[in-house]
Amino acid sequence: MRKQERYKLLIEHFTQNFPDPETELAYSNPYELILAVVLSAQCTDKRVNMVTPALFEAFPTPEHLAAATPEEIFPIIKSISYPNNKAKHLAGLGRMLVEQFNSEVPSTVEELVKLPGVGRKTANVIVSVIWNQPAMAVDTHVFRVSKRLGLVSKTAKTPLEVEKELVANLPQELIAKAHHWLILHGRYICIARRPKCEECPLTHFCAFFQKHYPNIPDDPENKVGGIA
């Protein structure tokens, strides 16, 4: 099957069954989202959402965070992965927002990656979720699902290479949505150790399924429907 046909079938399925995907991180403004996304690195959204209410209450504005020390932040986020480093990142992020960005979360990837704890993936999440920009954040889920479905070439070995291929092949107006589609599909269906192919509605065009289960007849009509 040609790559463009896979994209066509992917888009058809999710626009029909999951037209308005959203991040699972809880937030009410760009400042809260950037804190949550920084904390979510190598940590589950569920765990982050358990921690952020207390964090947002303790440091409700960039000014409050800028005045905090890592030692004051650490007890609140200690159940998150790598709490020492993330406490330092958040303290530095607060100071930089106040000192260099007038307490506003930047709206470009180029500015966002200057902030402590914010890499390209985090920056892409922010501009995609907040400003609906055509940015594709490639985490482990997006990387895995893109490769398994056959949306990107075998030579795409890094998150940036996968990002570039996805952005080049998806309609610009759907890139922000596709980011969520791929993440959520990877989180709940196309999981790392044993993908739930028996539940997946995408096996009729999935390169992984066709390679590993070539003799199993596929009928997408009988599937549960994945994350939809």
pLDDT at 212: 86
**DSSP-based three-state secondary structure for 123:** helix
Alpha-carbon gap, residue 133 to 96, rounded angstroms: 23
Q: What is the mean pLDDT of each run of 10 residues along the chain (228 residues)?
A: 95 95 95 97 94 98 98 98 97 98 96 96 94 92 96 95 96 95 96 93 94 69 49
Instruction: Please give the structure tokens belonging to residue 95.
Output: 């100071």
Alpha-carbon gap, residue 77 to 95, rounded angstroms: 18
* Distance separating the N- and C-terminal Cα atoms of the chain: 24
pLDDT at 216: 65
Question: Active-site positions?
Answer: 121, 139
